[in-house]
Amino acid sequence: MSAPLALVTFLAIASAAAAKPNAGLRTWGRFDKLPYPGDKAFLYDTFPEDFMWAVGTAAYQVEGAFEKDGKGLSIWDTFRRGGNRMATGDVGSDSYHNVYKDVRAIAQLGVSHYRFSLSWSRIFPNGTRGSYNEIGTNYYRTLLRRLKEIRVQPVVTLYHWDLPDHLQQTLGGWSHPEIVGIFKDYADFCFQTFGDDVKYWITIDNPFVVARHGYGTGVVAPGIKNDPDLPFRVGHNLIKAHAAVWHLYDRHYRPRQRGRLSMALASHWIKPSRTRLESLRECQCSLDHVLGWFARPLFVDGDYPPCMKARLGSRLPSFTPEERAQVRGTADFFALSHGAALSFQLINDSLKFGQQEELDLRMLLYWVNAEYDKPPIFVVQSGWYVLGNTKTEDPKHMYYLKRFIAEALKSIVIDGVNVIGYTAWSLMDGFEWHREYGIRRGLYYVDFNAPDMKREPKTSATFYRNVIQKNGFPELPENKPAQGSFPCDFAWGVSANSIQVETTPSQFADPSVYLWNISNNGELMRLEGFSAPPVRRAAHCADYATIRQQVDEIRQVGVNHFHFSLNWSAVVPTGDVAHPNTTLLGYYRCFTSQLLQANVTPVVTLWHHTRLRSSLPAPLDTANKWLNRETPKAFADYARLCYRELGAHVKMWITLNEPNDEMVTYQEGHHMLQAHARAWHVYDNEFRHAQGGKVSLALHMDWVEPAFSFSREDVEPAKRVLDFRVGWFAEPVFGSGDYPLGMRSWLRQLNSLELPVFNEGDRELVRGTYDFFAISHFSTELVTHAMEDSYTYTAMLEVQQMIDTTWMKSPRPVVPWGLRKALNWVREHYRDVPVYVMANGVQEDPARFKDSLRVYYLYNYINEALKAHTLDGVNLKGYFAYALSDQRDPGFGLYGHIQEEAIVKASLSNYRNIIKHNGFPVQGAAAQPCPSVPQPCPGCHVLAKKSVVGFLTLVGSGVLITLGLIVYYTAKRHKEYY
């Protein structure tokens, strides 16, 4: 067989395989097998050079002038005047009188294509050629001419839901077979009149909505209901009308006009509620009942999906063999509509078949590609919506656009789907069908009450223009991973909220006597009725099994620092430092000393804030907690006790960990700052000279990013939130000794007197009470000034919290660059202060020991920390992963647990490797010249104890004597034998 023939054969086989019925069924399994979380990461890349960037509108939504210049009534003009409906599209965005404004907006976006629909009743007022309206036709000629002047290609829809009302009243609209010929004649006129300037035609938009909701549920025009089978007869006529128009164009216009034609099909996306094959088949059937209803006849075999035929039976009309041949293959590309027109709007539960609806354009594109033999796909409608009271700031819509465009890009680059264009919906605000003016979908804001109907670009328009200019999301230098190393003295650590405490040594706690079965399986057999005499000696640190286990686990991570918290209420249960829990202090002393002997520096927090419990001694807990004026003094006394008892082993102290919680009142925070300052001064005056340690507080600092960074209206709220969340505690300590100026002035505007005032003595007490700046950082959020969702709107700060929908979540967003920005905020506000990231981690299913999300998280967050240090000049001194173990911090651990056994997760090994290389050194570069660290000797601390050494010497002497006797008598018997 020749090479060309072999290639043709291979392609034929591949094509046949791709066209296999229900080929889309493999979509869900394929995406389940993609690498996680790498596949969920944002893809920085660009679209093909010839990619079509478009924006669109529909005639009834934007044109207005419903009775102007001879236009006839459409079914929407009539439908909106029925019942108790109030709003209409009579004026809409008044595009009929604002062609130049529309075209200017299109030009500003920089799109290559503009999709719009023709109003059938504006051209043929009663629906037929005999009622031709020249003035109405000239409106579209003008629009096409203006588009040509700005070099934008039109994508023209013949029918976008606005049937001439005369055809509905006289024929019953799309329910009558005669409509097929009438629509064909209307299309013939449009091809003849406009076809020389149009290369992309859409016959009918979203026939599913037209049939099911126009002639079934009555939600949209013409509002017919109560005949459950009518939608299927309407759908049948819509398909035949489309096929007739396609053949008309193919035979009479394509040779000269060289255009392409299709039907715009809309769909939701659905995911299985269970992993069973039956659930996947139900998902497939759900898509078949919405998208496949029209797509399969056009793209596969000219007939309805088997699932529909099986479930609907005789309710579904049938195609004759001749009709199937006429319908099959009548699409030059797959025109896909996706977004708010259908998803979560007009898909009722009966079409989900017990499965779960989801918003996923990428998976839908892959399904279409697999199910319909890899057609070129033009996304002819995509976008989301904002509430009707939203004006030019619409970050929610912007981030949905970003998500959908990013999914289309992944579909091309990763999945190999032939996506040829993307259409953002819509150009401007207009009448939103059954949602009326309750939502807005435009890239341009229109004030419907203003006489000039001015088009103002929204944030989404600016975003879309930037994407088009860059042809996607090209990778920028700041998006690329950094290479380099941290300083030799960099503190690599791991954090835990607490440690496991064992108040009774377990080493000699079992008094039983055992026999060692050395002749068989080596097991120990306990002898009933026998017990060893009690051990009469002082407890040693080596006696605590939990200490040995925890220190060994920490050492295996490869860190040189370990951060944990003491429990104030347990150390001083009565609140009186003269009567502490000496047993617990002894345990902490042993734990920290054993860490040091393992070459791990302990970092100890005196008080860790949690919302669940105060962790204050009982007398303070019942006496107003942190609102009690005596609490700061009591905290200073407690700190003095800890410094005295543990200071020989602890050289790095955190007074308060994450006190800047939004549930903490300003007065409580005021007392916490005083408590921190008092504790710092205690160390500075009484212990620093002898112990040589460092003291500070650790603040929770998730990053806050303006939803639209080019907008001053969003930049200011982001600064305000950071002032209230971080500056609240940072500025008094690291800055002026007072609360942030922005915080005070904002509260003053609100006539609030809640924020306490620092007197001069307090200011001097608090200011400068730090040796380093410590932060806990986990995630990032967006803020905007424009209210969208009352549940995530903070009225006091006048900010709307939101997230970028392209971010990974688990459950909080995973945004590595947020750490870099947080570190730079510290540098910009407090100059060259030494900074430690005291906790950084992500929550993941504890049962997932191959915790790939945490591997991704740690790698990328640490890499952003390296950028902050090497590129931005942040004085970063250390990084602590959170957390050591799921046992103490469920879902965050580097160790998992099965019963009592600790399991090393994949993230631990990866973190240890980063530590081993001290960052991300350039491959092939010479090793960083750092002084070697002495390796720990696990047994050396045991040998340091004289009693243990004596015991081991005695045992060793006995063993040597026994071996000598064995050798002597063996040799003697050997001689006697000979």
Cα separations in angstroms, 235 against 214, 226, 292, 293, 310: 11, 16, 12, 8, 17
Tokens of residue 341, six digits: 């027109």
Q: What percent of the chain has pLDDT over 90?
A: 82
At 958 the pLDDT is 60
Query: Among 50-54, 69-73, 389-393, 508-512, which is the least confidently predicted range?
Result: 508-512
Contact by Cβ (8 Å): 486, 869:
yes
At 416-464, the pLDDT tens digits run 999 999 999 999 999 999 999 999 999 999 999 999 999 999 999 999 9
> Could you tell me which of 252, 87, 238, 47 has the C-alpha nearest to residue 161?
238
Q: What is the pLDDT of residue 535?
A: 57
Tell me the pLDDT of the chain averaged across its residues.
91
pLDDT band, residue 411 (cuts 50/70/90)? very high
CB 843 within 8 A of CB 811: yes
Q: What is the pLDDT of residue 130?
A: 97
> CA gyration radius for the chain?
37
Query: Is the pLDDT at 301 greater than 50, yes or no?
Result: yes
Q: Point out the least confidently predicted range of 102-106, 179-183, 729-733, 924-928.
A: 924-928
Out of 16-25, 484-493, 537-546, 577-586, which region has the weakest mean confidence (pLDDT)? Answer: 16-25
Q: Which residues contact 779 (CB under 8 A, 6 or more apart)?
A: 702, 703, 812, 813, 814, 815, 818
How many residues are there in the chain? 978
pLDDT score, position 831: 92
| Portion of the chain with pLDDT greater than 70, in percent | 90
CB 766 within 8 A of CB 823: no
Contacts for 170 with CB less than 8 Å, ≥ 6 apart? none
The pLDDT, as a whole number, for residue 934 is 61
Over residues 267-281, the mean pLDDT reads: 94
Closest by CA to 396, choosing from 364, 440, 451, is 440
The yes-or-no verdict on residue 479 having pLDDT over 80 is yes
Task: Please give the Cα distance from 583 to 645 (Å, whole number).
Answer: 12
Distance between CA atoms of residues 675 and 732, nearest Å: 13
Residue 978 scores a pLDDT above 50: no
In angstroms, the Cα distances linking 668 to 156, 637, 665, 800, 816 are 64, 19, 5, 26, 32
Q: 656 forms bridges with which residues in the sheet?
A: 607
Provide the pLDDT confidence category of residue 670 given band limits of 50, 70 and 90.
very high
pLDDT at 1: 41
d(CA 378, CA 422): 6
pLDDT of the residue at 529: 72
Q: Are 336 and 267 in contact (CB under 8 A)?
A: yes
pLDDT at 105 over 90: yes
The type of residue at 838 is: M
As a whole number of angstroms, the distance between CA 233 and CA 237 comes to 6
How many angstroms separate the CA atoms of 398 and 389, rounded?
16
Q: What are phi and psi of 964, to 5 degrees?
A: -60, -45
pLDDT band at 8, cuts 50/70/90?
Answer: very low
**Element (DSSP H or E) covering residue 362:** helix 361-371
Predicted local distance difference test score (pLDDT) of residue 340: 78
Bridge partners, 202 (sequence order): 157, 262
Query: Average pLDDT for residues 283-291, to the nearest whole number?
Result: 97
The pLDDT of residue 86 is: 79
Q: pLDDT tens digits for 896-938?
A: 999 889 999 999 999 999 999 999 999 888 888 888 766 555 4
So what's the pLDDT on residue 522? Answer: 59
Q: What would the pLDDT profile of 353-386 be if each residue is shown by its tens digit?
A: 999 999 999 999 999 999 999 999 999 999 999 9
Q: What pLDDT score does 976 carry?
A: 39
DSSP conformation letters of 931-962: PPPPPP-TTHHHHTSHHHHHHHHHHHHHHHHH
DSSP secondary structure letter of residue 309: H
This prediction's pTM: 0.89
What is the β-pairing status of strands 799-802 and 793-794? antiparallel
Q: Strands, E, within 67-140: which ranges?
A: 113-117
Looking at residue 966, what is its pLDDT?
57
Which letter does DSSP use for residue 626 in this model?
A: G
Residue 707, amino acid? A
Phi-psi region of 436 (alpha: psi -120 to 50; beta: other; left: phi over 0): left
Higher model confidence: residue 943 or residue 934?
A: 934
Q: Measured between alpha carbons, how far is 681 from 695 in angstroms, rounded to an integer?
A: 9
Cα 265 vs. chain centroid, distance in angstroms? 29
344 vs 837 pLDDT, higher one? 837
Which region among 91-105, 511-525, 629-643 has the lowest average model confidence (pLDDT)? Answer: 511-525
More confident residue, 976 or 407: 407
Distance CA 840, CA 819 (A): 9
pLDDT (mean) for 871-898: 96
Mean per-residue pLDDT for 524-534?
A: 68
Cα separation, 56 vs 427, whole angstroms = 6
Confidence label for 713 from pLDDT (cuts 50, 70 and 90): confident
Please say if the pLDDT value at position 259 is more than 60.
Answer: yes
Q: How far apart are CA 442 and CA 456, in angstroms?
A: 10
Say which residues have a Cβ less than 8 Å from residue 471's Cβ, sequence separation at least 6: 46, 47, 49, 51
pLDDT one-digit tens code per residue, 43-69: 999 999 999 999 999 999 999 999 999
CA distance 890 to 896: 9
Cα–Cα distance, 817 to 826 (Å, whole number): 15
Is the pLDDT at 969 greater than 60? The verdict is: no
Query: Residue 836: in which H helix or E strand, if any?
Result: strand 835-840
Q: In this predicted structure, what is the pLDDT of residue 933?
A: 61
